[in-house]
Amino acid sequence: MGITRGFVGAVGNTPLIRLEHLSERTGCEILGKAEFMNPGGSVKDRAALGILLAAEASGELKAGGTVVEGTAGNTGIGLAHLCNARGYRCVIVIPETQSAEKIDLLRSLGAEVRTVPAVPYRDPNNYVKLSGRIAEEIPGAVWANQFDNRANRQAHADTTGPEIWQQCEGRLDGWVAATGTGGTYAGVALYLKQQSEAVRCVLADPHGSALHSWASTGELASEGSSVTEGIGNSRITANLEGAPVDEAIRIDDQTAIDVLYDLLWHEGLFLGGSVGINVAAAVELARRLGPGHRIVTVLCDGGDRYRSRIWNKEWLQSRGLRQPERQQLGSVA
């Protein structure tokens, strides 16, 4: 890897990890892009960097300026790191329902954190809309607008997609990822389809999100709910618009939790909630395609940001979920 230039230079070029246990069980090679190894701890470091570099290049973001964003946590964490590194003030608007670990970390990083009630996007006080209004009120501020700022997906089309293609040496059958902003899924899917139309691009979705319905029927409709954070949506963002979606797979929370614990016990990987959705969907795609295929998904972030939630037995039980036990691993996949 050599010597990098600060935080910015350390973003990207993450390993592709073969998930041995699930690959053996499915007969497919299931690979996870290790985005938890980015310097800010998540895949969102890429989007945050892409958005900041675009704002600097356009002249919108000037020295000593302010960056404002509405986030479920990880994009805000990436922005807070980058604002420290590049001399900007960082203001983060986050739903109060997000994990205490992420909110506390944002404050530790020096961001000005404003927690707000979690309300649907149609509500004018939704955290995304509120962050846009706050940016308008602060002189010299830039609204990162990760959901509809296509610098987000472009960052993945420029970096994540090419890295995956090169690491796979051009042999890849499926790309699977959940989406909140649409940036990671869409940017990678657009790039991979340019390389080979044969790559199957599959959108993974939790219950409570309308994207599975949209991808399957063309209509935005949702049912149920999910404990996962930062993924799923009730609308089509500018980043997701026009992205190739060959099919969608919906994953329930218990399946995602079972997969997360399987990854810890068999792979030694301690990961966040959306990873459970991603990897479970990759396993389902492997079942649909049959043995002998290569499937890539994204390992978005680490489990430390969710210790009080998905890694806590009492919290899971309070949500009607069961904490897996080691002797139950045979039921996974």
Catalytic residue among 33, 44, 102, 193: 44
CA nearest neighbour of 233 among 148, 306, 315, 158:
148
Please report where in the chains the tokens 């900007």 appear, as a residue: 88
DSSP state of 322: P
Q: Quick one: which of 179, 14, 151, 13 has its CA closest to 69?
A: 151
- Confirm whether 33 is a catalytic residue: no
Query: Torsion angle of alpha carbons 248, 252, 253, 257, nearest 10°?
Result: -80
Strands (E), 281-322: 294-299
Angle at 212 between CA 291 and CA 37, to 5 degrees: 65
C-alpha span between 36 and 298 (Å, rounded): 9
327: Cβ contacts below 8 Å, ≥ 6 apart: none
* Dihedral pair phi/psi, residue 21, rounded to 5°: -65, -50
Q: How many residues does the chain have?
A: 333
Judge residue 209's burial from the number of C-beta atoms within 10 Å of its C-beta, 0-12 exposed, 13-18 middle, 19 or more buried: buried
Alpha carbon dihedral 300, 314, 308, 44, in 10-degree steps, equals 20
DSSP category for residue 250: E
Residues with catalytic function: 44
